[in-house]
Amino acid sequence: MVESFEYGLNSSATEYDGENKYIRITDIDDSSREFIQAGLTSPNTDLEKADNYLLKHGDILFARTGASVGKSYRYHEKDGKVYYAGFLIRARVKSEFDSEFIFQNTLTVSYDNFVRITSQRSGQPGINANEYACFEFFVPSKHEQSQIGKLFRQIDNTIALHQRKLETLKQLKKGFLQKLFPKNQENVPEIRFANFQEEWEQRKLGEITESYSGGTPGAGNKMYYGGNIPFIRSGEINDDKTELFITEEGLNNSSAKMVSKGDILYALYGATSGEVGISKINGAINQAILAIKLKEDDDSYLITQWFKKQKDSIIATYLQGGQGNLSGSIVKELTLQLPIDKNEQQKIGAFFKSLDDTIDLHQNKLEQLRNIKNGLLQKMFI
């Protein structure tokens, strides 16, 4: 099916010259398998002698070594003039076969198993050109190949479109987080809703909220687990369900604490340190979560958005080098600015809620499309 497998250009990368692009393993997106066009580079070599490394329509690249071994990419003319680097192998597909069909076969479970088995060797995993040539799969007629390839290309284009929309929305929200909250040393935001003029007031979180963290029932006691109380862990603060459930006995014989739907949940430590959410369920929390309840009628969604805006600053201040933990006492001393007018708080909170709902909608649509594609990959390839 392939005319030849060729290793890439043994050249370092240099500043992008505006025309000649250089693709390396790290330039292939892990999810979409598209050529990442941000941070482009050019090969640092005499390109007049590098024509053999210039990709043509339908060429397929394979990562040959390291943690990304097996990762593939199919070249499209829209990607421009692209040379491929040394840790990649180029497969040039024969004209009697459809390269899109072959590429989609590299996204199947069968291919993943081939990569896992073939790359097992001492030291760094790797697959050479001769080994890639041994990957076998069933092939229909050229016409059917083309039809299958066209279908998956349409699905991939739709997925890419939704991915771009999602990224645009996330960037839009990031910009509004900067403009709808006052900058440092300022008392009003850059953008305001109509009819609000008052300066914002500075408050400590401990002045306007009550907070507490939870605990974990003894893992060795079976009587504490398998009940009907959702046990929320730090990675689940934005979820509407939990993996674990505890019993009343587990709750009463531990430091686990109950929270209510609508409470602010803040991750104190672990991989999700600094993440914030609003609880979607009634449940119990462990020691890695701080529950935050408002004393007055301040807008909880506005406060969660402030936490999101300040996340990097809080982490940099209190978790330098990834060491240490956040704590309830630290959070209580954090200072934020809030609109005095509760109506302004609610308008800002509702605006971000609407934006987050739209982002979630696109995220869910994207996951549905990916699930559809994965299902088709299992059903349409033998």
Over residues 13-24, the mean pLDDT reads 96
Choose the weakest-confidence range: 22-31, 322-331, 366-375. Answer: 322-331
Position of tokens 């390291």? 66
Question: What percentage of residues in the chain have a pLDDT greater than 70?
Answer: 98
The structural domains of the chain, ordered by start, are 2-139 (3.90.220.20), 144-196+340-382 (1.10.287.1120), 201-338 (3.90.220.20)
52-to-49, 56, 84, 85 alpha-carbon distances in Å: 8, 10, 10, 12
Distance CA 382, CA 378 (A): 8
Long-range contacts of 94-98 (CB under 8 A, 24+ apart): 94/1, 94/2, 94/3, 96/142, 97/1, 97/139, 97/142, 97/145, 98/142, 98/145, 98/146, 98/148, 98/149
- The model's confidence at residue 321, banded by pLDDT at 50, 70 and 90, is low
pLDDT value, residue 350: 96
Position of tokens 């645009």? 168
pLDDT value, residue 132: 95
Judged on CB neighbours under 10 Å (0-12, 13-18, 19+), 376 is middle
The residues that bridge with 72 in the sheet, in sequence order, are: 62
- The model's confidence at residue 120, banded by pLDDT at 50, 70 and 90, is confident
Please write the tens of the pLDDT for every residue from 217-232.
998 899 999 999 999 9
- The model's confidence at residue 271, banded by pLDDT at 50, 70 and 90, is confident
Over residues 81-107, the mean pLDDT reads 96
Position of tokens 């060797």? 121
pLDDT value, residue 148: 95
322 pLDDT higher than 70: no
pLDDT value, residue 323: 63
Judged on CB neighbours under 10 Å (0-12, 13-18, 19+), 146 is middle
